[in-house]
């Protein structure tokens, strides 16, 4: 039988970043975290929340699935720990869904923090009513069933970004960014510094200093001045 080497793999658990580190990263918006990683780690722009006000931050519980198939999505529900973000690699297909309202409800009962799908979801109104932050490429009614193949807690790709179990997933109205678990503490430190500098510039401009002075625009603009 033809199958990928990961198909059928179910890893029940994985190391998760500390709640304190998750809280530090959650204090920032997705754009600030992306800036701290020099623009890397940003999932494809089509992956957006069902409602702009939705936010999520937590460790990735990864699911690999065939587009339109929910078998391994269903199984993943039993492996969720409170605060996990279920990240589903459905190959980016927008015209067939892999999860709907009922499965999201069951994930909510397991205290999931949110769901990110590189693909489609359905029952959007019901998912929104559940209050579970859900990010996806599209909403589509069609779904094929629960037959497999798939895998759980293996390396996947979401919106062109590698995702490993335990990586930190942060999403808001701007999109989704993935922070590698091994680099999460450094990125949190850098995001804190970036935010502090940003707020300092706001204070300076509000106190009367010019934008040109605060951002040092004169030297940058001089490059483009005509003689």
| DSSP H or E stretch at residue 9 | none
pTM of the model: 0.94
31 Cβ neighbours under 8 A, 6+ residues apart: 174
Q: List, for residues 18-62, the tens digit of each pLDDT value.
A: 999 999 999 999 999 999 999 999 999 999 999 999 999 999 999
CATH topology of domain 19-189: Glucose Oxidase; domain 1 (3.50.30)
Give the three-state DSSP class for 198: helix
The whole-number pLDDT of residue 180 equals: 98
Six-digit token string for 181: 């678990």
Number of residues in the chain:
227
Residue 90 confidence (pLDDT) above 90: yes
Q: Residue with structure tokens 């990263």?
A: 25
Rounded distance between C-alpha atoms, residue 69 and residue 81, angstroms:
23
Residue 1 confidence (pLDDT) above 80: no
Average per-residue pLDDT for the chain: 96
Q: List, for residues 132-158, the tens digit of each pLDDT value.
A: 999 999 999 999 999 999 999 999 999
Rounded distance between C-alpha atoms, residue 68 and residue 217, angstroms:
51
Residue 227 confidence (pLDDT) above 90: no
Rounded distance between C-alpha atoms, residue 182 and residue 59, angstroms:
12
Rounded distance between C-alpha atoms, residue 39 and residue 31, angstroms:
9
The whole-number pLDDT of residue 198 equals: 86
């Amino acid at each position: 039988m033809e199958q990928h080497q990961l198909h059928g793999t179910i890893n029940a658990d994985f190391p998760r970043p500390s709640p304190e580190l998750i809280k530090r990263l959650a204090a920032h918006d997705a754009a600030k975290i992306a800036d701290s990683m020099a623009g890397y780690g940003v999932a494809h722009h089509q992956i957006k929340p069902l409602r702009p006000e939705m936010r999520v931050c937590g460790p990735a519980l990864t699911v690999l699935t065939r587009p339109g198939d929910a078998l391994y999505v269903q199984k993943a529900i039993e492996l969720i720990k409170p605060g996990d973000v279920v990240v589903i690699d459905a190959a980016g297909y927008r015209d067939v869904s892999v999860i709907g309202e009922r499965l999201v409800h069951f994930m909510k009962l397991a205290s999931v923090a949110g769901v990110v799908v590189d693909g489609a979801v359905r029952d959007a109104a019901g998912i929104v009513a559940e209050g579970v932050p859900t990010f996806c490429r599209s909403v589509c009614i069609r779904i094929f069933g629960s037959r497999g193949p798939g895998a759980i807690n293996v390396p996947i790709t979401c919106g062109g970004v590698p995702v490993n179990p335990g990586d930190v997933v942060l999403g808001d109205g701007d999109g989704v960014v993935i922070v590698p678990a091994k680099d999460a503490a450094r990125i949190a430190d850098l995001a804190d510094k970036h935010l502090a500098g940003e707020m300092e510039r706001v204070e300076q401009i509000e106190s009367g200093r010019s934008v040109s002075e605060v951002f040092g625009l004169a030297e940058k603009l001089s490059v483009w001045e005509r003689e």
